Chains A and B, each alone.
Chain A
Amino acid sequence: MTVIEVKNLTKKYGNLKAVDGLSLSVAKGEIFGMLGPNGAGKSTTFEITTGLLHRDSGNVKVLGVDPQKRPEAVKARIGVQLQAAQTFRKLTVMETLKLFAGFYLNPLPVNEIITQVDLAEKQHSRVETLSGGQKQRLSVAIAMISNGEIIFLDEPTTGLDPQARRDLWGSIIELKNLGKTVFLTTHFMEEAQKLCDRVAIIDYGRIVALGSPQELITAHFHEMSLEIVQPELRNEPKLWELTSVTEVIALNEHTVLRTPNLTATIRELSALAKALTINLDDFRIRQANLEDVFLKLTGRRIKP
């Protein structure tokens, strides 16, 4: 069952096309991620689907309702976390969640949510005393308390340390287990790869790829990646002459060699190192990931 349907969506800010003919559909119960750099049009799409922003053209249906025509009908059935939105500073965590629970017909129990986002110790603390990570978790908790059928999260883990980020992923997966649909935006590759059932890679207001993280990777890469970190080797022009390598990508901190035949490449590489009298001691082998897909599709790296 489709719960979010977006067709040919466009939105301009002056001359800038923030969203340019974007189409996607989200099925009930999946975690769907929009991945892209800042300014790619993720947040604009997000705000149009949540009924916060009017579109220029295209069709949008959320739970079968057009959020532009009947925003209140959509808002009553979804929970929303907004990027960089604060909450009342002088209220406690508990009071804040009770306040937002009061706006919905069937909110989840406040205590349950507080435990789930790991704010039990802070439940009687005022929002102004919380750390950045705690505030971020509170804002996700606000989306969760709605008990909405779709939970919209706009960059939910920005500003969190890696441990807190993983904890929050746990809460988001928990939402999925409860049968909720999760629609999120992120610019963390790892987050999209580990968390999302399907990912739309967005650039310049368009979808450049759509599918499960594994599908995207296998569709675009049959090769392995070999990353060379050593400075004396990674800028060596002869790297481009290795016969088993299909592609060489020079990045700031390392150079990536793509190869369908890893054994042959390592053999060639060690021969090269020997010829240059360099010890080959700092390289990494890995499978392609979403970041590679993004790089391949957009020619750029995503910058958090």
Chain B
Amino acid sequence: MKGFFQLLMANMKEIFRDRMQFGWFILFPVLFVAGFGVVFSSSGSPAAGDGTMKFPVSIVNEGEGAFTAAITEVFMNVPEFSVHMKTKDEALHEFAGGEAGLVIILPAGLEVLPVAAGDLIKEDRKIEIPVYCRPDQMYLMYGVNKIFHEAEKKVLGQPSVMEIKLNTAFPHDDGLENNGDNKTSNNAGLNMIDYILPGILAMTLMQLGLFGSIRVLALRVAKILKLLGATPLPRGMFLACEILIRVGMSFIQALVVIIIGHYAFGLTLANNWLYIAGWVLLGTAAFVAMGYMFTIFAKTVESGNAIMQLAQLMMMFLSGIFMPFDLLPGYLKTVMRFIPLTYLADGLRHAVAGNPSLYGVTTDLAVLLGVTAFCLITTVKRFKWE
């Protein structure tokens, strides 16, 4: 035990005395949260926050029925929306003219969804919901998505048959300027921050896991692992120590992201800390294990760095952490499904901000546990100590 404690201290000294590394460890999440916070939060904009700002939404209800009426009502209850019922022609004319920034069309047939859903699922068909949204107000789409998902979930138990078809037909320029200041305040259910920041958190956990394992690689290249292997220190103890440090660092970063996100940018905190910690732990486990697995393929620190960079960039941009699911083209949606970060971000959005999970909490959990198990087993089988 004395050896374990000594090793823990030694490792911590190694990490914290490397000013460059430690600086990035703290600075990186702060920069990201601040950057994205300013971009996506309304609190940085002088026009927002007074609650009087109403955002015009046109709804075209082509399929009159209880279900579509219920959806319309949800939109009406959002305080930042002023909802107008329009005919399709009117609405699209206004959209083209720049008078309306967001048009939602509830197509004929939608009203019978609660009854027809079973058949649709069986035939693998989806109902398209055309939505017109101006590019400069794209952040609203997150809220729109959420409302549809929730409505569907309430009725069907799972979101699966409604597909939002986004149109961004560009209105003429002066329209853009006239309404350019319209923003949503951050106490509505449409807070883009709630989407983005848990994604940023997922990304920092991924980075910490992937790049943290470079350290083990460096120790291996310097033959320090071999030297430790020549002492009576059990290998398990070395690993436990390594993992403990990774988990500790993850918690610190998560705390930084969440606290800055909450106090500076109004990130919703919907769950207790223990629940959030559980998800952070799960994400750390998955990506630390993945990082260790990647070190198998690297002979030098440089090649290790290259592998991690590649993995990180791919996951960062293909996981939809920067953009809601429905804003992405179809083929990317398929790719996203294979990126583990997608599920950590989804899980964290649910755990931190209480957003409805896009893929289901069970799916997120299963994917993360599966990734952890697969990477761990591969690592244990193939890992080289020297």
Across the interface, A80 reaches (CB within 8 A) one of B10, B14, B231, B234, namely B231
Enumerate chain B residues within 8 angstroms of A90, measured Cβ to Cβ.
13-14, 17-18
1-57 of chain B: CB within 8 A of chain A: 2-3, 5-7, 9-10, 13-14, 17-18
Indicate whether B310 reaches chain A with its CB closer than 8 angstroms.
no
A126 and B19 CA atoms in complex are apart in Å by: 14
List the one stretch of B126-134, B171-179, B219-227 in contact with chain A: B219-227
Enumerate chain A residues within 8 angstroms of B18, measured Cβ to Cβ.
90
Please tell me if the beta carbons of A75 and B230 are within 8 angstroms of each other in the complex: yes
Enumerate chain A residues within 8 angstroms of B226, measured Cβ to Cβ.
52, 82, 85
Q: Encode A47-89 as 1/0 by CB contact (under 8 A) with B.
A: 0001110000000000000000000100110001010111111
A32 and B18 CA atoms in complex are apart in Å by: 41
Please tell me if the beta carbons of A102 and B224 are within 8 angstroms of each other in the complex: no
Please tell me if the beta carbons of A80 and B230 are within 8 angstroms of each other in the complex: yes
Residue tally, chain A, CB below 8 Å to B: 28
Across the interface, B224 reaches (CB within 8 A) one of A75, A80, A85, A146, namely A85
How distant is A274 from chain B, measured CB to nearest CB, in Å?
59
A75 and B3 CA atoms in complex are apart in Å by: 14
Indicate whether B330 reaches chain A with its CB closer than 8 angstroms.
no
Indicate whether B155 reaches chain A with its CB closer than 8 angstroms.
no
Enumerate chain A residues within 8 angstroms of B223, measured Cβ to Cβ.
82, 84-86
Enumerate chain A residues within 8 angstroms of B222, measured Cβ to Cβ.
85-86
Enumerate chain A residues within 8 angstroms of B7, measured Cβ to Cβ.
99, 102
Please tell me if the beta carbons of B6 and A72 are within 8 angstroms of each other in the complex: no
Indicate whether A283 reaches chain B with its CB closer than 8 angstroms.
no
How distant is A150 from chain B, measured CB to nearest CB, in Å?
12
Q: Encode A92-107 as 1/0 by CB contact (under 8 A) with B.
A: 0001101110111000
Please tell me if the beta carbons of A91 and B3 are within 8 angstroms of each other in the complex: no
A99 and B234 contact, Cβ closer than 8 Å, known pairs A82-B223, A85-B223, A85-B224: no
9 inter-chain pairs at a CB distance below 8 angstroms, sorted by A residue, are A52-B229, A75-B231, A80-B227, A85-B222, A85-B224, A86-B227, A87-B227, A89-B14, A104-B231
Residue positions of A touching B, CB distance < 8 A: 50-52, 72, 75-76, 80, 82, 84-91, 95-96, 98-100, 102-104, 126, 139, 142, 146
Which 8 pairs show the lowest CB-CB distances between chains A and B? Answer: A102-B6, A85-B223, A80-B230, A86-B222, A90-B17, A76-B232, A85-B227, A103-B231
Residue positions of B touching A, CB distance < 8 A: 2-3, 5-7, 9-10, 13-14, 17-18, 222-224, 226-227, 229-234
